[in-house]
Structures are given as structure tokens and as C-alpha cells.
Amino acid sequence: MNDKTIPITGGCCCGDVRHEATGQSVLVEFCHCQSCRHAVGAPLMAWAAFRRSEFAITAGDVTAYESSPGLERTFCGRCGTSLTLADDRFPDDIYVSVSSFDDAEKLPPEFHIWRSRRLSWLETSDTLPRYAQFRADGIVEEQPGRS
């Protein structure tokens, strides 16, 4: 990713909430975990992590809730678009819904996480690295080959 990609703006479906990332993404991932599935209502989720100091809600207000201990999710209280995920284990980062950006083409995912929770009927044809899970210390554990 180069500097032409930033700042990158986005927001929710109804337009009440707008956001902006002024720094480059730390990582972009597909997450297959059940918590994300339930939270966003989709079979998988794409997240882009940014430094919190380089991301801001620039218009509107988000609604926040804790989906599991240490995980806070936000969404637009009017239209329901999932917007961010904050993980206490990574206090410097904020995960932002890739699909909420105006140009999600700028944020191609780099790997799959939580493949161990993947829906069996969901398979993608990309050749990105596939990881089974996060360990408690936050280190990604690789699952050899495709599952």
C-alpha cells in the first residue's frame, strides 16, 4: 500500500456516520469467527486495522457494545452498519469494517483468520495465507495447507 491510498474515508449505509483513516492499515484480514458472523450478519467479515491515533469518526455517533469480554463493537444506531471492533489485547489498534469504506478496493485482505471456525460451505478461491486461530497472546498460528 502506498501513500496515494490515504486518507481513506467511509461510513455507514444511511450516511449518518462517517469515518476517516489518515494512516496506512496495519493489516487487513478476513475473519471467520462466529462472533463476527453474528455481529455483522454475514458468513465472514473483512477488517482493516489502523492505529487508533490515525482513525476517527468524523460525523455522527456510533452505538457500542461488548460482544465478548474485551471486544467492543460499534455500529450505526440508525441503519445498523457494522463499523469498528476494538480488542483490548491490541490497545493501539482499531479494526474497521473494510466494506464500510467508500472504496474497499483500496483494502484487499492479506490473510484469513479463524479458519477453524469457518462455515463448511464457504470456500474462497484466493491464495491468501490461512490461519486457524489466534492464540491468547495474540500470535497467529498457522494451519498448514488448506483446511
Q: Which residues bind Zn ion (CB under 5 A)?
A: 12, 14, 16, 31, 33, 36, 76, 78-79
Nearer to Zn ion, 12 or 21 (CB): 12
Residue 9: Cβ-neighbour burial (10 angstroms; 0-12, 13-18, 19+)? middle
- In whole angstroms, the minimum distance from the beta carbon of 35 to Zn ion comes to 5
- In whole angstroms, the minimum distance from the beta carbon of 43 to Zn ion comes to 12
CA atoms within 13 A on the CB side of 52: 9
Nearer to Zn ion, 5 or 18 (CB): 18
Nearer to Zn ion, 53 or 59 (CB): 59
Find the helix or strand (DSSP H, E) in which 35 lies: helix 34-40
- Residue 112 C-alpha cell reads as 484469513
- In whole angstroms, the minimum distance from the beta carbon of 18 to Zn ion comes to 10
What is the rounded CA–CA span in Å between residue 37 and residue 40? 6
Residue written as grid cell 480488542: 87
Nearer to Zn ion, 16 or 72 (CB): 16
- Residue 72 C-alpha cell reads as 467492543
- In whole angstroms, the minimum distance from the beta carbon of 76 to Zn ion comes to 3
